[in-house]
Structure 1
Amino acid sequence: MVRKIGSKNNGCTFQLKGWYDATHKVWRLNTTSIASRDFSRDLCTTADHCFLYWRLCALTRRLADYFATAYHQKRQGSLYGWAYTTIIARSLCLFPDGDSKLSHVQRSPSYRSLALCVSFWITPKSQQQQAACMDAVGNAIPENNGYSNSDEPHSSSALIFLGTGCSSAVPNAICLIKPSDPPCQVCVQSLSVPPERNPNYRCNTSLLIDCCPSGGEHKYILIDVGKTFREQVLRWFTYHKIPHVDSIVLTHEHADAVLGLDDIRAVQPFSPTNDIEPTPIFLNQHAMESLKVKFPYLVQKKLKAGQEVRRVAQLDWKIIENDCKSSFVASGLEIVPLPVMHGEDYVCLGFSFGKNTKVAYISDISRFIEETELYISKREGHQLDLLILDTLYRNNSHNTHFCFPQTLEAIKRLQPKRAYLIGMTHEFDHHRDNEFLKDWSKREGIPVQLAHDGLRIPIHL
């Protein structure tokens, strides 16, 4: 089958035979699944379904390219081009969790790819019908994916999640270079959905505190600088218009928290002779000793005789205590260390901050130290407004991290007003598990959800 799309006289045809066959086959196989089962999981239960899903994704990309070209060349079919390109673009957007009108099935990219392809066989004939169709699409599908509008001026403080994934990040490379049968749906999705539209694409855990007192200057405090820091800068610093980093705070010295330190120079003023003001970096003594070995050239204060000057990140190392009673100030914000166990042989730091809104950030934990738990617990009169907490695996347990059951149990004990989860592996599907958390939150009376990379939360610190 060859179908001509657009004006009769525009001379443009698009070969859809193979794509239509694939679409029709999936539609025939899954009509009942759409209404009755978890369609996104059903689609990827066999290699055949996965293959067809990839074909559908390729179709949307080819059609988007075709119509974008037609629109820019102002061909007669540009109205169709604009309409279909808009449908494609919005269909590839992932729905935010707050849209109660849409089921988990309807949020899945597999379902939207199918719905998109079916829409091509129900083409509105008149401009009035097209406008009505576009209104319907616009009302049903939000413009963004839970991200704030980067073009809006931000005059208040905010928390920006630069990364919400585990040390190996998501997608897991092994799932792509040596795929399982059936393939990992969360990781395979990264091949078809752009990272900025894919909440299952997760870099190493990292939080940027945008601290802006009322009418004051923005100060940017970065928690952890992991292996994926450069990617986070390119993606989220540009999106949220972050011009620099004023201070750095480290939770610990593992690779996923420090191996991006060399790239800090990318967010510092350029000086070939390193003649710039160093960025303050706060860390405990154990991390300091480790980083002297990992990054001797970043710690070194003076050049040795005959040593050439090389441009490197300029850092001002400041030691903090593993003690809830020993707060410190980073770029005007008072921060309290929250020591926790990260495995029974290792103390890692979380952090609490905010006078008006009390926030705790704990990215790597296997067990609470009693003093720390009491410091952030409602039963001791220290209820948190927001808890950001580690959860590694969806099922089972781990010796150095909280996993989903332990995380939820800890939230029930601490009783924060709200919680976001970070540090997830590819076992977590953002939409599926946020549906579960929506029910859990109603039952327990504590709003909890998975965070995603790029999420910005305005907050009054």
Structure 2
Amino acid sequence: MVSAALTSEEPVFPRLASSWVKRFVFLGTGTSGQVPAIGCLLPAPSASSSQSNNDGCRACHDAVVPGSKNRRGCCSLAIVGGGPRPQDESLILIDCGPTFYSSAISHFQRNGLRRIDAVLLTHAHADAILGLDNLRAWTMGGDIQSHVDIYCTQTCFETVEATFPYLVNGKKATGGGAVGELRFHIIDAHRPFQLPVHGGSGSGSGSRAPIEVVPLPMFHGPHGGPNGAPFECLGFRVDTLSYLSDTHAVPASTSQRVAGSDVVIIDALNPYRHLSHFSLQQALSFVLSLPAPATTTKTATAALRQQPGSGRPGLPKLALLTDLTHNLEHHSTERELRRWNKEMQRRCRNLGQGATTSSDGSSVASANGHLAETNGAASAAAALGEGGGPRWWSAIWDEHESERLSGRRSLRLVDAFTKEPGPLQQRQQQQQQQQQQQIQGLSLSDDDSGLQLPQFHVAWDGLAIEMGRPDT
């Protein structure tokens, strides 16, 4: 019997700005296994037909309820940008996995999506490419479009060619029916490339011009690369939107490319570690430790902090978690994130957003700071977050402890906050903050309550978010 759907308060997202992106729609937010997991729904061999193999999996049992936010297809994102009129819009699709077609049926019409101007492939795993054959529905008869442009690395292309030889070379089709008309473009994982779209740089109404897409190379598994190296996967940055759906480690050079984004969409597979994906706690660490943008000067840094709702330079306004398993039930995870976000904000304000002292005696950077020297016993690597910047929050919250406390379907973020310091220690920390600001050459007002950490939320299939134009 289908139970009533689980619920949680609807999030209110911050205002996001982009010179090209108008909105983005999640077509899938799950892993290759999707949610629900069939093993959680089918009866155990020795159980009655009404008793499932895992009655305790709230995410999977809720996922079969129509409209459930726990229902998750394979990761995919539609990015819409361009001019003010629908005919002046272009659609960029990131990944095209086995659930793409059913997701398109569910979400294209209601979000005004039609023509696919470009498909960006992150990697050649099944959950990212097995829907490429379904693109024939867009090109058959030319009713929607004559062809679809696919952008991928050479390594990814070779796997696609081996999997779908007839999509790469139409002469290899067996003649039993129409096949998709796909045009492949090989990109360099370490160089930005241009996409011809509506509303690109220098284009007028109804015309097409290029926009720049920045690849975000990262690692997605300890093996699979050349000579035993980790398997490389791509994310993509389109203007102020950065998308990193499959990663267990992000190079510092990639974090620098992400810095300054308004919104970061990030892999958060489980409430504990995995070999080829970020845990939810690692996802938080990545976003919180992003570096300042390379072009940020001291003057620009001070200016950024005067903007309402702005945070530490480099941090986004919004971070959305994707690539989730059934171990992270949507509504309970969203509630825990809100509790954590609220408590983290309060702790930062109580500590004056200044340099604080961690339990091992090392000095760490604040939510306002760029960098601080570490003088304790902890190694330099341990003092850095997943984004490559300092773990400025280590005196407040321990993501490693959160992973230890969490288990299967048990996310515990708030329990990993440290014991708050007494009044004397707080005064000492505030003095350290003032000293650190003098070292950095920054003068901040005593009232810095306008500082905001990024909002963290769980994405869901069908979530559509608007982006406005930057203020001029």
**TM-score range relative to shorter protein:** 0.5 to 0.7
Give the whole-Å Cα distance in 1 for the aligned partners of 2:317 and 2:63.
33
Q: In the alignment, which residue of structure 2 is the partner of 1:209?
A: 79
Contact in 2 for aligned 1:157/1:458 (Cα 8 Å): yes
TM-score by length of 2: 0.60
Give the whole-Å Cα distance in 2 for the aligned partners of 1:330 and 1:388.
24
The alignment partner of 1:308 has SS state of coil
Q: In the alignment, which residue of structure 2 is the partner of 1:385?
A: 262
Q: CA deviation at 1:214?
A: 3.4
TM-score by length of 1: 0.61
Q: In the alignment, which residue of structure 1 is the partner of 2:324?
A: 424
The alignment partner of 1:157 has SS state of strand
The alignment partner of 1:232 has SS state of helix
Give the whole-Å Cα distance in 1 for the aligned partners of 2:118 and 2:144.
18
Q: In the alignment, which residue of structure 2 is the partner of 1:314?
A: 181
Q: In the alignment, which residue of structure 2 is the partner of 1:255?
A: 126
Give the whole-Å Cα distance in 1 for the aligned partners of 2:89 and 2:140.
17
Q: In the alignment, which residue of structure 2 is the partner of 1:299?
A: 168
Change (3 A) 1:96 1:162: farther
1:184 to 48, 57, 62: 57
Change (3 A) 1:55 1:327: closer
Provide structure 1 residue ranges, at least 5 long, that are not aligned to the other structure.
Answer: 1-53, 58-91, 100-145, 147-154, 378-382
Give the whole-Å Cα distance in 1 for the aligned partners of 2:124 and 2:155.
8
1:370 to 252, 272, 286: 252
Which residue type is aligned with residue 340 of structure 1? M
Give the whole-Å Cα distance in 2 for the aligned partners of 1:213 and 1:333.
13
Contact in 1 for aligned 2:233/2:247 (Cα 8 Å): yes
The alignment partner of 2:141 has SS state of coil
The alignment partner of 2:108 has SS state of helix
1:334 to 204, 212, 222: 212
Pairing 1:255-274 to 2, within 5 Å after superposition: 255-270=126-141
Change (3 A) 1:435 1:277: same
Q: CA deviation at 1:277?
A: 2.5
Which residue type is aligned with residue 220 of structure 2? H
Give the whole-Å Cα distance in 2 for the aligned partners of 1:422 and 1:263.
23
Which residue type is aligned with residue 393 of structure 1? N
Give the whole-Å Cα distance in 2 for the aligned partners of 1:319 and 1:359.
22
Give the whole-Å Cα distance in 2 for the aligned partners of 1:405 and 1:340.
18
Contact in 1 for aligned 2:80/2:90 (Cα 8 Å): yes
Matched, 1:97 2:10: yes
Give the whole-Å Cα distance in 2 for the aligned partners of 1:334 and 1:165.
28
Q: Deviations over 1:13-43 (max 9, x none)?
A: xxxxxxxxxxxxxxxxxxxxxxxxxxxxxxx
Give the whole-Å Cα distance in 2 for the aligned partners of 1:269 and 1:160.
25
Q: Deviations over 1:262-309 (max 9, x none)?
A: 1011233526xx9973211000010001111000000005468xx637
Query: How many residues were matched structurally?
Result: 303
Q: CA deviation at 1:181?
A: 4.8
Between structure 1 and structure 2, the one with the greater Rg is 1
Give the whole-Å Cα distance in 1 for the aligned partners of 2:217 and 2:179.
31
Matched, 1:157 2:22: yes
Q: In the alignment, which residue of structure 2 is the partner of 1:351?
A: 236
Contact in 1 for aligned 2:114/2:144 (Cα 8 Å): no
Comparing 444-453 with 209-218, which one deviates more in the overlay? 209-218
Contact in 1 for aligned 2:166/2:172 (Cα 8 Å): no
Pairing 1:14-29 to 2, within 5 Å after superposition: none
Q: CA deviation at 1:363?
A: 0.5
Please identify which structure carries the higher strand content: 2
Give the whole-Å Cα distance in 1 for the aligned partners of 2:157 and 2:317.
34
Contact in 2 for aligned 1:205/1:363 (Cα 8 Å): yes
Matched, 1:437 2:337: yes
Q: CA deviation at 1:406?
A: 0.9
Contact in 2 for aligned 1:276/1:314 (Cα 8 Å): no
Q: In the alignment, which residue of structure 2 is the partner of 1:169?
A: 34
Change (3 A) 1:160 1:262: same
Contact in 2 for aligned 1:97/1:434 (Cα 8 Å): no
Give the whole-Å Cα distance in 2 for the aligned partners of 1:56 and 1:296.
45
Which residue type is aligned with residue 199 of structure 1? K
Q: Taking CA–CA contacts closer than 8 Å with sequence separation of 6 or more, which of the two structures ends up with the larger relative contact order?
A: 2
Please identify which structure carries the higher helix content: 1
1:244 to 110, 115, 128: 115
C-alpha RMSD of the superposition: 2.5
Give the whole-Å Cα distance in 2 for the aligned partners of 1:157 and 1:275.
22
Give the whole-Å Cα distance in 1 for the aligned partners of 2:144 and 2:89.
24
Give the whole-Å Cα distance in 1 for the aligned partners of 2:248 and 2:181.
33
Q: CA deviation at 1:247?
A: 1.3
Provide structure 2 residue ranges, at least 5 long, that are not aligned to the other structure.
Answer: 14-19, 44-51, 198-209, 223-229, 291-314, 346-452
Give the whole-Å Cα distance in 2 for the aligned partners of 1:257 and 1:447.
27
Change (3 A) 1:93 1:353: same
